[in-house]
Amino acid sequence: MDEANAGEAATQGGEAAAALSGHALIQAQLKTLDASPGVYRMLDAQARVLYVGKARNLKARVAAYARPSGHSPRIARMIRETAAMMFLTTRTETEALLLEQNLIKQLKPRYNVLLRDDKSFPNILIGGGHPFPRIAKHRGRKTEKGSYFGPFASAGAVNRTLNQLQKVFLLRSCSDAMFDSRTRPCLLYQIRRCAGPCVGLIAPQDYAALVADAERFLSGKTTEVQAALAREMQAAAEAMAFERAAALRDRIRALTAVQSAQGINPRGVAEADVVALHLEGGQACVQVFFIRAHQNWGNRDFYPRTGAGAEASEILEAFLGQFYDDKTPPRLILLSHPIENADLMADLLAERAGRKVELAVPRRGEKAELVANAARNARESLARKMSESATQARLLEGLAEALGLEAPPRRIEVYDNSHIQGTDAVGAMVVAGPEGFLRAQYRKFTIRGEGLTPGDDFGMMREVLTRRFERLLREDPDREGGQWPDLLLIDGGAGQVAAVAGILGELGVEGVPVVGVAKGIDRDAGKEEFHLPGRPPFALRMNDPVLYFVQRLRDEAHRFAVGAHRARRARAVGATPLDDIPGVGAARKRALLAHFGSAKAVARAGLADLKAAPGISEALAQTIHDFFHPRD
């Protein structure tokens, strides 16, 4: 949408409206509006966005909020909190829908439905532009040449399928650099997972036939591939080439294993996403099944924030808009519930896909069975999650009782450091609450303190907590944004707790409980001691569920810190002088290392040799040469 051409309407409705709130404020806004399509925002007294909505007719839509009664409890609360409104008109209704989705993603309003899991989905890629294409898992933007098949619901689903496809089609999975450097076949050839093209053990035309078979299978033409393999096996047996016949038999079995692992494979649905919603107790679960090439490529469950009581149609509509924000929608999307603006959503998704996209709510036949299966999975997944949430709530209540907290903590922050003799030091923060670990809110801190003594854990913790709470004080001084912790958990004893309490005191932070967890006697798990300021240390029973809960929190922080440290150390080990050359990015760095063999060889290379390297222009070759051979 060209937002520059969209018209901005009145935002506050004049001085008279500025002093109003709730129904009166909304009623006062009506005289500033017309029947244009657009987007409206409701704000509270602190100018925080409560809700973002779209409208085919702004005046009619806002008029519905001006009614003093007839609203759901959720909408009634939202209206009471509304102290200001903002409007943006658009040229079309589809533009309004797109703008609404963009603003929801950016602002995350409290009363909107929010999709909290926006991870990309993996695909299978059969590469192009190489005489012997590789088959591999691919995630992210589709910039590499080749044929893409997916999406698959998870990396595990892709890995299982790839494992079986390698047995069937014997395509290589190694990188091009490894392929070019081989002088003998690798282990995959020995265990019959690769045809050995790297050392000429298969002719290009025969390998191309395997590639074509793999693409046919992934496109849904499984019967043709199986029939062809069966004919080859029969011919080999008749020619008494029993070893080849046995190999073909194994390939057919592997092909059958792929199909059986994919579960329900609909005959009448070639390409679709099946999206089913189950609502219970104010919580929602959305199951998405991916049907491609008449094959079920897995499913994923999502738990959107329901905006404090949204209805099924609103949840599904918001889910579709946010889910396909960075994913290409299929030609058909099967839904468990109708949505209010199905025509607008179909137009929006078609615009993103570059072709027609159909939304349907099937009532009978195979498509209805697919939706019913997805809905059953959604119901069962939500039941499991609600059971886990109830267990988590009991653990948080037990933790509050054990530590003498006023109420169960809704946000626990756990801190840990990782380093090797002070090098590549990293601080880590993990977050947990009523819904378990909140991995999207984990944070890594690269320790930057120049005056730190190697191994100074107190100094590292001081830097991490200072940076963390200075930011909180700057961004949310009133503690109303939900980002302030109700409990700090520190790996350490009385000394660490006193140091952390001192740091918070210096920053002027009050009311945040700090608990240190020390290993205790013999440093054995199960004998941990808890340290709180002003209280003697104490321990919990060996079999206390709260103790196991604290151990999981501490272990998760340690795991995250160690992982961050290893990643930083690996980057440092992989660093070369090429990283400092202007104009040499990751791709050109790989090209230079592949061409010359090492950074040292690049440094020694003459100007003519640098110009001959692939992807290196004459100007860049001069820049590289001057970097290693500075002129007087």
Q: Is 50 helix (H, G, I), strand (E, B) or coil?
A: strand
The percent of residues above 90 in pLDDT, for the chain, comes to 30
- Condensed to tens digits (0 to 9), the pLDDT of residues 258-288 reads 555 554 567 788 889 999 999 987 889 999 9
CA–CA distance, 285 with 617 (Å, rounded to integer):
53
Checking if the pLDDT of 120 tops 80, the result is no
User: How far are the Cα atoms of 18, 66, 77, 84, 113 from residue 43, in angstroms, in the given order?
Assistant: 12, 15, 13, 5, 16
- Residues 357 and 349 sit within 8 Å (Cβ to Cβ): yes
Contact 37, 95 (CB under 8 A): yes
pLDDT at 480 over 60: yes
**Res. 95: pLDDT tops 60:** yes
DSSP-derived 3-state class of residue 137: strand
| Residue range(s) of every CATH 3.40.1440.10 domain in the chain | 3-107
The Cα 619–Cα 632 span in angstroms is 20
**pLDDT value at residue 288:** 94
Q: How many angstroms separate the CA atoms of 263 and 275, rounded? A: 17
Reading phi first (left if > 0) and then psi (alpha if -120 to 50, else beta), residue 511 is in left
pLDDT over 80 (residue 116): no
Confidence at 22, pLDDT banded by 50, 70, 90: confident
pLDDT, averaged across the chain? 83
How far apart are the C-alpha atoms of 476 and 482, rounded to whole Å?
Answer: 9
pLDDT over 80 (residue 232)? no
- Strand 84-89 and strand 38-43: the pairing is antiparallel
Beta bridge partners of 52: 41
Tell me what pLDDT residue 520 has.
62
In the predicted structure, residue 54 carries a pLDDT above the cut 80: yes
Find the largest Cα–Cα distance for the chain.
Answer: 95
Nearest alpha carbon to residue 185 among 196, 195, 174: 196
Q: What is the architecture, at CATH level 2, of domain 3-107?
A: 3-Layer(aba) Sandwich (3.40)
**pLDDT tens-place string over residues 414-455:** 998 886 555 668 888 999 998 889 888 999 888 877 666 666
Task: Assign a CATH topology to domain 271-383.
Answer: Nucleotidyltransferase; domain 5 (3.30.420)
What number is the average pLDDT over the span 165-194?
Answer: 87
| Contact (Cβ atoms closer than 8 angstroms) between residue 411 and residue 433 | yes
DSSP 145: S
For the segment 363-389, the average pLDDT, to the nearest whole number, is 90
Query: What's domain 577-628's architecture?
Result: Orthogonal Bundle (1.10)
Domain 412-565: give its CATH code.
3.30.420.340
Residue type, 84: A
Tokens for 364?
A: 């009978």
Overall average pLDDT of the 250-261 stretch: 64
> Which ranges in the chain are annotated with CATH 3.30.420.340?
271-383, 412-565
Instruction: Tell me how many degrees the CA angle 387-389-391 measures, rounded to the nearest 5.
Output: 75
Going by pLDDT thresholds of 50, 70 and 90, the confidence category of residue 519 is: confident
Are 289 and 366 in contact, with CB atoms under 8 Å apart? no
